[in-house]
Amino acid sequence: MTDRVLISGGAGFIGFHLAKRLLQEGYKVCLVDNHYRGVFDRDLAELLKHPNATFSNIDLLDSQSVEKLGADFQVIVHLAAIIGVRHVLKRPYDVLWHNTSMLNNLITLGQRQTKLRRFLFASTSEIYAGGVEHYGLTIPTPEDSLLTVNKVSAPRTSYMLSKIMGEAMVQHSGLPFSIFRPHNIYGPRMGLAHVIPEQLRKAHDANPGDSIDVPSADHTRAFCFVSDSVEMLFRIMKNESCRDEVLNLGTERPEITIGDLVKFCIRTVNKSIVINELPPFEGSPKRRAPDMQKTKDLLGFESQIGLPEGIEKTWVWYRENIFGSADRSAI
């Protein structure tokens, strides 16, 4: 019997790429999305031509609609959430309420399954931010680090809180779970509200000699190409040793400044452009990188795509599909 996998937020960035991999491996995949951020583009339309792919356009806040998805899934991957700094700052209450409510509905669905082997929950690297700021957590940061909440009145804290609460809900749900904390995953079809496609777009639109604005230029991050993150997720899903574990998802090295990252993007676009460094975004951590030893040990895998190659792959996709085109990527 072919395993069935439900992916909430399936029209989005990671959901789409994971679905594509699972279909290649012979799984039956049900994508669930309401297109709040994900788009129904040519790539998704092509994916849904596969005989093992189905799509349900539902609101995951509607418990009755979620219940109708059925009880014959072996794996549920919950990716749907209000994410992105711009969205979070505008809708902090919705972030708290909607993210935890959607998760509650998916957990309830999971508890109704007759043969569920794994419930995968997408947490976030943001949950480390309070500890890094106030208590000097080790960077790269391991999964067993104690979590500390930033000022709860700050709008940006709402996303962190929703994911910390989400991790607790999953761990106390009674489901066989794996929680993963993504760290700066990037690649084709991720939208424009992320640093790499955003800076590639700025460089694409600029004339030689122009300057482009770069906030938080001295802050450092470690970036992971989407194919590497999908390989990790696929192995987490299959590996029994990952059951009831919390795992970082990402690349430990290199940890690179945002300024140097933008220089990579400019070189990739092959233009002579000046960087105009701006103050950091409010609440943006000075450093962030995952300790990947636990994930590497459990999966027998680490990232394969280097940053220059990954940026090149991302640039080619956006140049051919989004820049100068009427098509949209995720918002």
The encoded tokens of residue 282 equal 């409010």
Residue 161 pLDDT > 80, yes or no? yes
Q: Quick one: pLDDT band at residue 328, thresholds 50, 70, 90? A: low
Tell me the domain boundaries of the chain.
4-186+224-251+292-305
Instruction: Work out the average pLDDT over 185-189.
Output: 97
* 84 band by pLDDT with thresholds 50, 70 and 90: confident
The pLDDT, as a whole number, for residue 77 is 98
- Torsion over CA: 8, 10, 13, 14 (sign): positive
Of residues 12 and 38, which shows the higher confidence score? Answer: 12
Residue 228: its pLDDT value, please?
98
> What share of the chain in percent tops pLDDT 90?
83
Work out the average pLDDT over 266-278: 93
Is the pLDDT at 8 greater than 70, yes or no? yes
Q: What is the largest CA-CA distance in the chain?
A: 62
What pLDDT score was predicted for residue 133? 81
Strands 220-221 vs 287-288: parallel, antiparallel or unpaired: parallel
Output the pLDDT for position 192.
87
Note the pLDDT of residue 126.
93
Chain-centre distance for alpha carbon 117: 22
What is the CATH T-level fold of the domain 4-186+224-251+292-305, as seen in this structure? Rossmann fold (3.40.50)
* Mean per-residue pLDDT over the chain, rounded: 94
pLDDT at position 135:
84
